[in-house]
Amino acid sequence: MKKKIVAGNWKMNKTFKEAEDLLFGIADALISGRPDDVEVVVCPPALYLELATDVATEHDFSCGAQNLSEHEAGAYTGEISAAMIRSTGAAYVILGHSERRTYYGEHDQLIGKKILQALRHELIPIYCCGEVLEEREAGRHFQVVEKQISDALSGLDADAFSKVVIAYEPVWAIGTGRTASPEQAQEMHAFIRKVLASHFGEHAANDTTILYGGSCNAANARELFANPDVDGGLIGGASLKAEDFVKIVNSF
C-alpha cells in the first residue's frame, strides 16, 4: 500500500549517548504534534537498533537499518543479517544507497539479492536509485534510473511492491545543499511509476511509496511533498536534529 513516509538516514553519525538523546528528542518533538497519516522511520547505525525500536514502540514510529547482508547466516565477519535486523524489531532497511554503491562497490545485481533477502525476513526495503550529475547533464537520468529499477527489482513479483519503498536520490543533491526542484522530483517520480507499470504492472506502480532524498530539509520539504507522486522523504543531514526532522514530518 502506498503511504506517506518521512525516514531519517543517520548514516555513520552519533555515539551511543548522542543516539539516545536524538531518539528521545524525536519522541518528544513528535508528542507536540504530527500528522496522523505519515509514518515516521528512523534509521540509525545498526548498533543502536534495539534501543531505537524500544523508543519507537512507545512513541509510534518505526525503525530501519542502513544495510544488510545478502547471506542468510554464517562465516561472514562484520556482516549483519536480515534475521538479526528483524529480531531487533526494525521494520525497514535502506538498500542501494549511492554511498554504498560508490564506496563499497555495490551494484544492482547484489542489491537485488539484498532486497530479496529483506523481503524474505519481512523487512521493507527502501531501495535508493538516482543519477550522478554527469548523467543528468548528458540527459541520461531517466535511462539510468530505469536501468537501476529494472536490474535491482527484476526478481520481484508484482505483489511484492506493496512491501517495497523506492527512494529517488539524485546523487548530485545528496549532502550538497543542492535540492532537486519540486518539478524535477515530480517528473522523475512520475517516470518511476511509469517504469514500474511497464515492468511490473499497474498495481506495482500504484502501490509503491516513492520518497525523495537529497538535501531535503525543513525549508523545502513542503514544496517537494506537495507533488502528487512524491510520497515523502529520505532525509540525511536534517534528520540528525530532532526539531528539524520533526518539522519535515509536519511538512505534509
Ligand X SMILES: O=C(CO)COP(=O)(O)O
Catalytic residue from among 39, 106, 135, 169: 169
CB nearer to ligand X: pick between 200 and 220: 220
CB of 7 to ligand X, least distance (A): 8
DSSP annotation string for 166-195: EEE--GGGTTTS-PPPHHHHHHHHHHHHHH
Catalytic residue from among 39, 97, 99, 135: 97
CB nearer to ligand X: pick between 214 and 232: 214
177 is in an annotated binding site: no
Q: Which residues bind ligand X (CB under 6 A)?
A: 9, 97, 169, 174-175, 213-216, 234-238
236 is in an annotated binding site: yes
CB of 110 to ligand X, least distance (A): 18
Gap between the Cα atoms of 248 and 252, Å rounded:
8
Question: % helix / strand / coil in the chain, to the nearest 5?
Answer: 50, 15, 35
215 is in an annotated binding site: yes
Q: Which cell goes with 221? A: 520539504
CB of 198 to ligand X, least distance (A): 26
CB nearer to ligand X: pick between 112 and 237: 237
> Any catalytic annotation for residue 72?
no
139 is in an annotated binding site: no
237 is in an annotated binding site: yes
CB nearer to ligand X: pick between 23 and 173: 173
Q: Where are the beta strands (DSSP E) in 44-123?
A: 62-65, 92-95
Residue 74 CB-density burial (10 A; 0-12 exposed, 13-18 middle, 19+ buried) = exposed
| Burial annotation 179-205 (CB, 10 A radius, 16+ → b, else e) | bbebebbbbbbbbbbebbeebbeeebb
Asked whether the beta carbons of 38 and 15 are under 8 A apart, the reply is: no
> Any catalytic annotation for residue 137?
no
**Mind telling me the catalytic residues?**
97, 169
Give binding residues for substrate as ranges. Answer: 9-11, 175, 215, 236-237
User: Binding site: what residues are annotated?
Assistant: 9-11, 175, 215, 236-237
